[in-house]
Amino acid sequence: MSGEPQLFRVNPGSTESERIEEVDFSQLGLRERQDIQEWVAANPSILGDDLLIIDKEFSGFDRTNERLDLLAVDPEGTLVIIELKRDDTGADAHWQAIKYASYFRRASYSKIVEMFAAFKGIPPEAAEDRLLEHLEDSNALNKGQRIILASHRFSPEVMTAVVWLNEKAKNDNLVTCVALTPYRDGQTGSLYLQSSTVIPSPGVEEDLVGLGDRSTGLRNGIGSLGEKLKVSMEKNRNDEVTEFTVRVHELTRERWPDKLSPEHRGRWTRGDARRRWCNFWYGRLPWANHRLCYRLDLRPQTPDTWRAGLWIRDRDGFALPILKDERLHDNQTAYRNGIYFEVGVGALDDVFAGTIADTFRAFIERVTPLVDEIHAEGNLQAVDVEPDDDEKEEIET
């Protein structure tokens, strides 16, 4: 049974279906720089992240003439080096991207603003404002670097090296591999592009290079890199806090119509020992992962208890004037980039998950229709939102 993704055209009025052919970019005459790069630059969400493109085809390094495909920044302030390949990565794509990432390790705030201003053709002041709108912490720009490799196919050499690097760095996101698969509909001539993250991903060990058994030629799976990856992912993504937020999401969605229940949940629960959070959002406008979303915020109080709160995060500021006029909850507190609701303190068990879910459902029931109504009427307009100095400190008691 094949685990490869497939795409079908179906006719809702009948039982007919027809598989749409997967093709190579080269078959279609599509090029890496002129086509794929332009698609990603225009819509970086193709790569599965909330990214702001800082520059394209950057070659302003002082001791090399190399050229970076795309440079971006995520909301946490990490610079994202994006290396694109067309139909196959070859065996060394990761090394090329690592070099670029190392070149940006000391890039200053002012230099990044300068690059972005030149790329967009706008004054540095406007470029800085746009960057601050995107960042969750205005002081975190270039707090680190990470890499996204995007290609139709990835060689086993690249995948094995990426898994090893992530494992050694203890960071599943240091290098991400995103498969871009083109499909051509022979009947309509339409072209489709499927995007899927292959690393980090459970089961990736099946595609890694490892040591083989001399008698059978099979890989020795005992202590293999893939098994270590699996253990690492289980530790980082499926700890008790992540499992708890998944449970809250499940309880919130139970017996609710899809139009009210957020169908998207953050891939895992981010944060550190001081604070963990998970975003929830809809797949329709104006909702988005980082720009307008709900957020479950958890902070350890004692070894056995956590303090929980709910946010509606509005990074663009278009809904805040209206949302702040509504008394949505007795414990609401308005902040510059959203509204926070205190839920309480409890253990990470089903009882506390149910309490949060009940509050979450009431919160969603009041807020979501209001935002959707305003959006449908075309009355959502961005307002000036002061930069969020440090969201971590805003809700400290």
The DSSP result for 145-171, as a single string, is EEEEEEES---HHHHHHHHHHHHHHT-
User: Does 349 have pLDDT greater than 80?
Assistant: yes
CATH number, domain of 382, equals: 3.30.1460
Q: Quick check: is 221 in a domain?
A: no
pLDDT value of position 82 = 95
Q: From CA 161, how far away is CA 96, in angstroms rounded?
A: 12
**Average pLDDT for 96-104:** 92
In a shared domain, residues 100 and 171: yes
Confidence of residue 210 (pLDDT cuts 50, 70, 90): low
pLDDT value of position 381 = 54
In a shared domain, residues 192 and 306: no
In a shared domain, residues 183 and 311: no
Q: From CA 33, how far away is CA 286, in angstroms rounded?
A: 31
Q: Quick check: is 97 in a domain?
A: yes
Confidence of residue 324 (pLDDT cuts 50, 70, 90): low
In a shared domain, residues 268 and 328: yes
In a shared domain, residues 19 and 140: yes
Q: Quick check: is 93 in a domain?
A: yes
Please, which residues have CB within 8 angstroms of residue 397's CB and are 6 or more apart in sequence?
A: none
Please, which residues have CB within 8 angstroms of residue 313's CB and are 6 or more apart in sequence?
A: 279, 290, 291, 292, 293, 294, 295, 337, 338
Q: From CA 275, how far away is CA 299, in angstroms rounded?
A: 5
For the segment 159-207, what is each residue's pLDDT rounded down to a tens digit? 899 989 988 887 778 999 999 999 988 888 889 998 888 887 655 555 5
Beta-sheet pairing, 68-73 with 305-314: unpaired
In a shared domain, residues 171 and 285: no
Instruction: Give the least confident one: 128-142, 155-169, 238-252, 334-348.
Output: 334-348
In a shared domain, residues 203 and 302: no
**Average pLDDT for 18-44:** 89
Give the best-scoring range by mean pLDDT among 283-287, 298-302, 315-319: 298-302
pLDDT value of position 379 = 58
pLDDT value of position 201 = 67
CATH number, domain of 176, equals: 3.40.1350.10
**Tokens 């000391």 -> residue:** 106
Q: Quick check: is 227 in a domain?
A: no
Which amino acid is present at 107?
A: A
In a shared domain, residues 191 and 249: no
pLDDT value of position 205 = 55
CB 318 within 8 A of CB 383: yes
Confidence of residue 37 (pLDDT cuts 50, 70, 90): very high
Q: From CA 136, how far away is CA 280, in angstroms rounded?
A: 16
Q: Quick check: is 223 in a domain?
A: no
Q: What is the largest CA-CA distance in the chain?
A: 73
**Average pLDDT for 361-389:** 67
In a shared domain, residues 150 and 248: no
pLDDT value of position 230 = 44
In a shared domain, residues 252 and 300: yes
pLDDT value of position 1 = 38
In a shared domain, residues 126 and 260: no
In a shared domain, residues 57 and 168: yes
Helix 156-169, helix 225-237: angle, nearest 10:
50
User: Does 29 have pLDDT greater than 70?
Assistant: yes
User: Does 244 have pLDDT greater than 70?
Assistant: yes
User: Does 255 have pLDDT greater than 80?
Assistant: no
Instruction: Give the least confident one: 71-75, 92-96, 208-212.
Output: 208-212
Torsion of CA 323, 325, 326, 331, to 10 degrees: 90
Q: From CA 333, how far away is CA 339, in angstroms rounded?
A: 6
> In what helix (H) or strand (E) does residue 259 lie, and over which residues does it extend?
none
User: Does 127 have pLDDT greater than 70?
Assistant: yes
Confidence of residue 39 (pLDDT cuts 50, 70, 90): very high
| Overall domain count for the chain | 2
pTM of the model: 0.56
Q: Quick check: is 219 in a domain?
A: no
User: Does 109 have pLDDT greater than 80?
Assistant: yes
Could you tell me the residue range of the domain that residue 138 belongs to?
7-209
How far are the Cα atoms of 121, 342, 360, 371 from residue 368, in angstroms, in the given order? 37, 19, 11, 5
Confidence of residue 150 (pLDDT cuts 50, 70, 90): very high
Helix 240-253, helix 350-376: angle, nearest 10:
60
234/258: higher pLDDT: 258
Q: Which of 331, 330, 344, 340 is nearest to 393 (CA)?
A: 340
Q: Quick check: is 220 in a domain?
A: no
pLDDT value of position 52 = 92
Q: Which of 306, 315, 253 is nearest to 282 (CA)?
A: 253
pLDDT value of position 273 = 65
Q: From CA 328, how far away is CA 51, in angstroms rounded?
A: 31
**Average pLDDT for 37-61:** 91
